[in-house]
Amino acid sequence: MKPENINFFEKVYEVARQIPVGRVTSYGAIAKYLGTARSARMVGWAMNGVNSGNSKNNTQDVPAHRVVNRKGLLTGKHHFDGTNLMQQLLENEGIEVVDNQIVEFEKHFWDPFKELGADI
DNA sequence: GGCGTGACTTGAA
DNA sequence: ATTCAAGCCACGC
C-alpha cells in the first residue's frame, strides 16, 4: 500500500468535510489543493468510495453533494441513491439548482486555497 | 497481467 | 469564440 495515495483520499474527504453549508466546490479545486490538479478524476473516484459506504468516511461526514464539476453541473448526481437526492440536498442548504446546474455557481464556489489557505 | 472506464480539467487547433 | 484531444490514477473484468 502506498501511504501517499491514502493521504490523497483522506485529504479529499477532509477538504470536502470542511465545506461550509450553502457553499460548493469543484473537483479540480480540491485536486489542485492536493497538488494533483490533473487528477481531478481521482477526487470523483474518492467520492465514489464515500457513497459506497467506506470504512470511516461516509456521505454524512463527506457531503459529496457539495462537490460538483467546474461548470457547477451535478455530474455525480447519478451516483447518488436517488436521482434528485443531490439536488434536493443542495436546495435544502439554500443553493438554487436548475436543470442539474447550480445557479450562480461562482457565487457559491468555495475555494479551499482562499478559505483553508494554500498551506499544503 | 492487460484493457477500458470513470462523479474532471486544461490546453491547443 | 468553440471543438477536439490528451492527461491523470484507481478500480473492474
Cell of A12: 479529499
Class level of CATH domain A3-109: mainly alpha
Strand C and A34 CB separated by under 7 Å? no
Predicted confidence (pLDDT) at residue A82 exceeds the cutoff of 80:
no
pLDDT in tens, A7-47: 788 889 899 999 999 999 999 999 999 988 889 999 999 99
Domain edges within chain A: 3-109
Residue A53 and residue A62 in contact, taking contact as beta carbons nearer than 8 Å: no
Of the candidate ranges A16-25, A57-66, A71-80, A91-100, the one whose mean pLDDT is the lowest: A57-66
Residue A54 has pLDDT above 50, yes or no: yes
Q: How far apart are CA A102 and CA A13, in angstroms?
A: 22
Reply yes or no on whether the pLDDT at A60 is more than 70: no
CA atoms within 13 A on the CB side of A87: 16
Q: Give me the amino acid identity at A111.
A: D
The pLDDT score that the predictor gives to residue A57 is 47
Distance A45 CA to C11 C1' (A): 9
Concatenate the DSSP letters of all residues of A9-68 into one string.
HHHHHHHHHTPPTT-BEEHHHHHHHHT-GGGHHHHHHHHHHHHTT-SS--TTTS-GGGEE
Which A residues between 62 and 101 have a beta carbon under 7 A from any strand C atom? none
Q: CB of A53 under 7 A from strand C?
A: no
d(Cα A27, Cα A30) in Å, to the nearest integer? 5
Query: The pTM is what?
Result: 0.88
Give A70 CA → C1 C1' in Å: 19
Q: What is the mean pLDDT of chain A?
A: 85
Mean pLDDT across A95-115: 92
